[in-house]
Amino acid sequence: MVSSNISRTKKWSTITSNKEVNMNILLSYLKRSKTGREIISKAQLKASKQNKELIDLLSEGDTSLTDTTLYRKFSKDDEGAVEYETKSVVTINRSLSQYDAMLDLAHELTHFVHRDEFNPYRLDFTLQKFIKSTIEETGGEVHAFMTECKVVNELFPQEVASRHNCKKITNSNNELSYKHAVEQFYSVGGYYKNLQVSLHKYDLLSEFNNISNSSIQFISSAYGVPYPVAALHEYNSVMEKVCENDLNRYAMMTSKGPSRKIASIDVKSFKKSILTRCKNYL
């Protein structure tokens, strides 16, 4: 069990004047948990694949989040050939107490380690997959929140019932329940009717029959709305940018000027795919 020297009131970002030292102290707190050690070890391995140390990918900011950036590399010899690379960084809210920041770190490292890297330029990048991956799949919000609760249970078992509704995702045996957690994350309260209208627009009502108008338990800090609604907003935002970029790319492919070699892509099919995927964003 972790000692009482982790403060519930003092900000983690002011332990010392050195930001890296403060982050390492936060990591040392988290390592006292079995779940924490496991997630840190996996995060270190993933960081090494980016040719980085884990500490290099951790920073403080105004909110806690895991930000993944997709980079596209175009071939000079073939306009249709594209290579994709993703890089992720983790930010922890500088205003949090040492205790809350440690748990946010466990949460965000779960995203960092386990969340599938999505490519919105792929034709199989759909709203259905995006909502499910954001909330209920490995590395999603349910997984990350359950990681928090496991850390609390290992370090402060007497407090698991009071930490961010951990008690509300336990079963009759007082064990953390993935099923109960999913139900809670799909409770959208007063957003229910508008969300149903949006899902109907995408012909997805039958795919999300677990969405309910029960009282909201979990809110996205990035959007200030329940996670299914936040995922919808984020998907639309991403697709607007994707469609804009693909239209610009198509214009370049078909512009007048020196002939271009586009061996790896059918330009007509590319245009058709844009019109199909982007009909709601053009």
At 160 the pLDDT is: 64
Q: And the tokens for 112?
A: 């960092």
- Give pLDDT, residue 36: 98
pLDDT of res. 3:
45
CB 163 within 8 A of CB 152: yes
At position 267, the amino acid (one-letter code) is V
Beta-bridged to residue 73, according to DSSP, are: 83
Task: Give the pair of three-digit tokens for residue 256.
Answer: 């007048």
d(Cα 34, Cα 58) in Å, to the nearest integer? 21
Write down the pLDDT at residue 2. Answer: 44
Dihedral angle at the C-alpha atoms of 130, 133, 139, 142, nearest 10 degrees?
Answer: 120
Q: Rounded to the nearest 10 degrees, what angle do helices 227-254 and 127-135 cross at?
A: 140
The residue ranges of every structural domain in the chain are: 12-166+173-277
Q: What is the CA radius of gyration of the chain?
A: 22
Q: From the first residue on, what is the mean pLDDT of each consecutive set of 10 residues in the chain (282 residues)? A: 73 97 97 98 96 97 93 71 86 96 97 92 93 96 96 84 72 87 96 97 93 95 94 96 91 66 71 88 81
Can you count the helices (H) and strands (E) in the chain?
9, 3
For position 262, what pLDDT does the model report?
Answer: 60
Biggest distance spanned by C-alpha atoms of the chain: 71
Render 24-79 in DSSP notation, one character per residue: HHHHHHHTTSHHHHHHHHHHHHHHHHTT--GGGGEEEESS-EEEEEEEEEE-SS-T
